[in-house]
Amino acid sequence: MKNSPENLALKQTLEQCQTHAQGLRDALDDMDPLHFDTFATESLSKDNRRLLDQFAYRYTRLQDDMGARLIPAVLRALGEDVAAMPALDRFSRMEQLGLLSSADEWNNLRQIRNQFTHDYPDSALEHDKRLLAATHAAQQLLSALALIIAKLQQRFGE
């Protein structure tokens, strides 16, 4: 990859996303033995609440950084003009280029993230359902990042 401003921005953004991805993987690994999908999140210990906070932080940061920074940086590095391109068009273009498996899937991941982080359900059961959906979405998000990295390595040979 040449050291153009676009490629340097892409490298920096990719490194930041990889840091969030590692933190997210660590949180998911630590959450797995606790079986949070059936665990009453309303009666969490202090350490488990911190673990959920780490998960929520890394999950939302990775989702946000990929959508707002990485995807535009990838497209710019590939010579695409993204200045006037709406987010949905960027996701569709990434799908066309084989860098996202599905723009619709990405939009679904965004919806799950928004429900998980911005909606506060009244019932513990609903909260647990959203946490389970978020853990599955986090795995898909990590897979999406891995696909982008693999395709960039093929394209740029790094």
User: Which pLDDT does position 33 carry in this prediction?
Assistant: 61
For residue range 8-27, list pLDDT tens digits in order: 999 999 999 999 999 999 99
- For the cut 60, the answer to whether the pLDDT of residue 93 exceeds it is yes
- Does this model's pTM top 0.85? My answer is yes
The amino acid that residue 132 corresponds to is L
At residue 59 the predicted structure's pLDDT band, cuts being 50, 70 and 90, is: very high
Q: Which residues contact 34 (CB under 8 A, 6 or more apart)?
A: 48, 51
- For the cut 80, the answer to whether the pLDDT of residue 88 exceeds it is yes
- Spatial distance between the Cα atoms of 134 and 119, rounded to a whole number of angstroms: 13
- Percent with pLDDT over 90 in the chain: 57
Do residues 101 and 144 lie in contact, with contact meaning Cβ atoms separated by under 8 Å? Answer: yes
**Joined tokens for residue 107:** 């939009």
The secondary structure of residue 1, as a DSSP letter, is -
The secondary structure of residue 142, as a DSSP letter, is H
For residue range 97-149, list pLDDT tens digits in order: 999 999 999 989 988 888 887 766 566 677 778 888 899 999 999 999 999 99
In angstroms, how far is CA 24 from the centroid of its own chain? Answer: 9
| Mean pLDDT of all residues in 21-37 | 82
Do residues 144 and 70 lie in contact, with contact meaning Cβ atoms separated by under 8 Å? Answer: no
